[in-house]
C-alpha cells in the first residue's frame, strides 16, 4: 500500500506541474522580450536559479534522520514554491518576477532530499529507478505536449502570459492533496532542550559541516561530485548565452523556441529514458555518468552549427533531452545508491549544495565570455568542460565498498 500510494503521489505531482514547468523554463526569455529585461537581468535569473540551491540545504537539513518531518517538509515546500505566481497578474515590477523565480528554484532543490528518502523508504529497490525515471519523463512530456498551444498563445496574445502562469500555478498547488496520502511510519527520537539549543546555535554551519564530513569519509561520492561539477559547469556556463542566441542570432518566435527547447528536448527525454533506466542497472554510476556528459558534448556541437541551419537546433535539443534523461537519473538516484543502508538525505543535500556553489561563479563566467566574444564561443566552452567531465568519469575506479553497494542494488 505504501509503495502504491507513494508512486501515485509522486507521479501526480509531476502531472499537475507539467504546464507550469514549461512556462517556468521560458520565464527568462519572456522577461527579455515582453518586459525589456536587460542582459544583466537575464544573467541574474540564470545565476540565481542554481545559486539559491545554497539556501536549499537549510530547508532540507531538518529532515536528516528525522522521518517524522519528511512529509510536512514536502507539503509546505510544494505550497510555497507556487504561491508568488498566484499574484503575477497584479505586478509589473521586474524584481518581483525575479524573486518569484528564485523562490521556486530554491524549493525545487530543497524538496529533493525529502522526496528521495521517502522513495527509498516506501518503494522497493527494483522499482525505484523506474518510478523516478517515469516521474522525470512526465516533466519532459509537458515539453512534447504543450509547446504548440502555449507558443500560439504567447505569440498572438502576449499580454496573457501572466494569467497562464497563475492558472498553471493553481494546478500545481492542487498536487499537494496527493502528498497528504503518502503513508509514513515514523519513530521520533526524543530531543532535549539542551540539544535543541545546540542545534539552533550551529544551524548556519550545520549543513556545511555534514556535507564536508561526508565528502571526507566517502571518496567514491567525492569523485562523483567532481565529475558532476565539471559536467554541470559546462551546461551552466552556456545558460546566459542562450536567450541572446535565440532572440538576437536566430530571431526565433515563441513557437519555434518552445518546439526546440521543450518539444525536442521532451521527445529526446521520453524516447531514451527506458534505455537509460536499463543501462543504469547494468553499469557502475561513474561509467553511466560518462555517457551522460558525452551527450552534452554532442549537444554543444549541434547548437554551434545551428546558426548556419536552424534544423540543427532541433537535433541539438533532441541530444539535450537524451543527456538530461541520463543526468536526472544519475544525479537524483546517486543519494540512494551511495548511501547503502544509511539515511540518503545528506547525500542528496550535498548534490544540491554543489549546484549552488557552481551557480555562484559559472554563469557569471559564461556571461562575461559572451559579452567579450559571442554566444558561439560560450557553447564551445560548454563542450570542452563536458568533454573533460567525460574523461574524468572514465578514469574513476570503484572502491571495494562501492562495488558491494552496487551488487546489492
Q: What is the extent of the structural domain holding 261?
A: 2-180+198-408
286-295, 299-308, 341-350: which has the minimum mean pLDDT? 341-350
Share of the chain above pLDDT 90, in %: 26
C-alpha–C-alpha distance, residues 227 and 296, integer Å: 13
Share of the chain above pLDDT 70, in %: 87
147-156, 171-180, 194-203, 359-368: which has the minimum mean pLDDT? 194-203
Highest-confidence range of 3-12, 41-50, 212-221, 348-357, by mean pLDDT?
212-221
CATH code of the domain in which 102 resides = 1.20.1250.20
Per DSSP, the residues of 260-285 read IIIIIHHHHHHHHHHHHHHHHTTS-H
- Mean pLDDT, residues 38-56: 79
Give every CB contact of residue 82 below 8 A, 6+ residues apart in sequence. 20, 104, 169, 170, 172, 173
259 pLDDT higher than 50: yes
Q: Which of 9, 176, 11, 179 is nearest to 82 (CA)?
A: 176
Mean of per-residue pLDDT scores for the chain: 82
- Report residue 328's pLDDT band, with 50, 70 and 90 as the boundaries: confident
186 pLDDT higher than 70: no
> Using an 8 Å Cβ cutoff, are 312 and 303 in contact?
yes
C-alpha–C-alpha distance, residues 390 and 384, integer Å: 10
**What's the confidence (pLDDT) of residue 146?**
67
185 pLDDT higher than 60: yes
Cell of 317: 535539443
Asked if the structure places residue 193 within a domain, the reply is no
**What's the confidence (pLDDT) of residue 195?**
47
Asked if the structure places residue 191 within a domain, the reply is no
Highest-confidence range of 22-26, 80-84, 91-95, 162-166, by mean pLDDT?
80-84
Per DSSP, the residues of 305-368 read HTTT-THHHHHHHHHHHHHHHHHHHHHHHHHHHHHTTS-SHHHHHHHHHHHHHHHHHHHHHHHH
Whether the model clears a pTM of 0.75, i.e. scores above it, the answer is no
Asked if the structure places residue 315 within a domain, the reply is yes
List, in sequence order, the alpha helices (H) in 35-124: 39-51, 56-60, 70-80, 94-110, 112-122
**What's the confidence (pLDDT) of residue 172?**
92
Asked if the structure places residue 87 within a domain, the reply is yes
C-alpha–C-alpha distance, residues 295 and 316, integer Å: 10
Secondary structure element (H or E) that encloses residue 181, with its range:
none
**Digit-coded pLDDT (tens) for 339-397:** 877 777 788 888 888 888 888 888 888 888 888 888 889 999 999 999 999 999 999 86
Asked if the structure places residue 346 within a domain, the reply is yes
Which residue, chain included where needed, has cell 543504469?
280
**What's the confidence (pLDDT) of residue 384?**
95
**What's the confidence (pLDDT) of residue 65?**
66
408 pLDDT higher than 60: no
240 pLDDT higher than 50: yes
**Tally of CB atoms within 10 A around 153:** 17
C-alpha–C-alpha distance, residues 217 and 221, integer Å: 9
6 pLDDT higher than 90: no
- Mean pLDDT, residues 203-211: 76
**Digit-coded pLDDT (tens) for 72-109:** 888 999 999 999 999 999 888 889 999 999 999 999 88
CA distance to 11, 217, 391, 396, per residue, from 401 (Å): 33, 12, 23, 14
Asked if the structure places residue 188 within a domain, the reply is no
Q: Is 309 helix (H, G, I), strand (E, B) or coil?
A: coil
> Using an 8 Å Cβ cutoff, are 44 and 101 in contact?
no
**185 CB-side CA count, 13 A:** 6
Give every CB contact of residue 237 below 8 A, 6+ residues apart in sequence. 362, 363, 365, 366, 369, 378, 381, 382, 385
- Mean pLDDT, residues 235-260: 80
**What's the confidence (pLDDT) of residue 104?**
93
Which residue, chain included where needed, has cell 496573457?
160
- Report residue 405's pLDDT band, with 50, 70 and 90 as the boundaries: very low
**What's the confidence (pLDDT) of residue 401?**
41
- Mean pLDDT, residues 1-21: 84
- Mean pLDDT, residues 35-47: 79
C-alpha–C-alpha distance, residues 172 and 203, integer Å: 31
C-alpha–C-alpha distance, residues 50 and 73, integer Å: 21
- Report residue 192's pLDDT band, with 50, 70 and 90 as the boundaries: very low
**What's the confidence (pLDDT) of residue 149?**
67
> How many domains, in total, are found in the chain?
1
Give every CB contact of residue 64 below 8 A, 6+ residues apart in sequence. 113, 210, 343, 345, 346, 349
Asked if the structure places residue 92 within a domain, the reply is yes
**What's the confidence (pLDDT) of residue 399?**
45
Secondary structure element (H or E) that encloses residue 151, with its range:
helix 147-156
- Report residue 287's pLDDT band, with 50, 70 and 90 as the boundaries: very high
Amino acid at each position: 500500500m505504501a509503495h502504491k500510494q507513494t508512486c501515485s503521489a509522486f507521479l501526480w505531482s509531476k502531472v499537475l506541474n507539467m504546464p507550469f514547468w514549461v512556462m517556468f523554463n521560458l520565464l527568462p526569455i519572456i522577461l527579455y522580450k515582453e518586459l525589456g529585461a536587460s542582459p544583466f537581468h537575464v544573467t541574474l535569473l540564470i545565476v540565481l536559479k542554481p545559486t539559491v540551491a545554497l539556501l536549499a540545504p537549510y530547508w532540507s537539513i531538518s529532515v536528516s534522520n528525522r522521518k517524522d518531518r519528511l512529509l510536512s517538509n514536502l507539503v509546505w515546500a510544494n505550497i510555497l514554491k507556487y504561491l508568488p505566481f498566484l499574484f503575477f497578474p497584479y505586478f509589473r515590477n521586474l524584481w518581483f518576477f525575479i524573486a518569484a523565480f528564485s523562490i521556486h528554484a530554491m524549493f525545487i532543490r530543497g524538496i529533493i532530499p525529502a522526496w528521495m528518502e521517502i522513495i527509498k523508504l516506501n518503494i522497493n529497490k527494483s522499482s525505484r529507478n523506474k518510478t523516478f525515471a517515469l516521474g522525470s519523463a512526465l516533466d519532459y512530456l509537458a515539453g512534447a505536449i504543450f509547446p504548440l498551444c502555449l507558443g500560439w498563445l504567447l505569440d498572438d496574445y502576449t499580454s496573457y502570459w501572466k494569467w497562464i502562469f497563475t492558472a498553471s500555478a493553481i494546478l500545481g498547488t492542487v498536487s499537494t492533496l496527493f502528498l497528504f496520502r503518502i503513508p509514513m511510519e515514523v519513530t521520533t527520537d526524543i530531543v532535549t532542550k539542551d540539544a535543541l539549543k545546540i542545534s539552533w546555535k550551529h544551524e548556519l554551519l550545520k549543513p556545511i559541516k555534514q556535507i564536508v564530513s561526508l565528502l571526507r569519509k566517502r571518496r567514491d561520492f567525492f569523485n562523483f561530485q567532481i565529475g558532476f561539477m565539471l559536467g554541470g559547469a559546462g551546461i551552466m556556463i552556456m545558460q546566459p548565452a542562450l536567450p541572446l542566441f535565440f532572440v538576437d542570432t536566430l530571431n526565433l518566435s515563441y513557437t519555434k523556441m518552445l518546439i526546440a527547447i521543450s518539444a525536442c528536448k521532451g521527445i529526446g527525454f521520453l524516447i531514451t529514458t527506458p534505455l537509460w533506466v536499463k543501462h543504469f542497472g547494468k553499469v557502475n554510476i561513474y561509467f553511466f555518468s560518462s555517457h551522460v556528459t558525452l551527450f552534452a558534448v554532442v549537444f554543444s556541437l549541434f547548437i554551434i552549427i545551428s546558426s548556419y541551419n536552424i534544423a540543427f537546433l532541433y537535433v541539438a535539443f533532441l541530444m539535450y533531452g537524451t543527456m538530461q534523461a541520463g543526468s536526472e537519473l544519475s544525479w537524483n538516484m546517486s543519494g540512494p545508491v551511495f548511501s547503502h543502508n544509511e539515511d540518503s538525505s545528506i547525500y542528496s543535500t550535498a548534490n544540491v549544495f554543489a549546484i549552488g556553489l557552481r551557480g555562484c561563479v559559472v554563469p557569471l563566467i559564461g556571461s562575461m565570455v559572451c559579452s567579450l566574444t559571442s554566444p558561439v564561443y560560450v557553447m564551445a566552452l560548454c563542450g570542452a568542460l563536458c568533454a573533460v567531465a567525460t574523461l574524468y568519469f572514465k578514469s574513476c575506479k570503484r572502491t571495494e565498498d562501492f562495488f558491494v553497494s552496487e551488487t546489492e542494488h
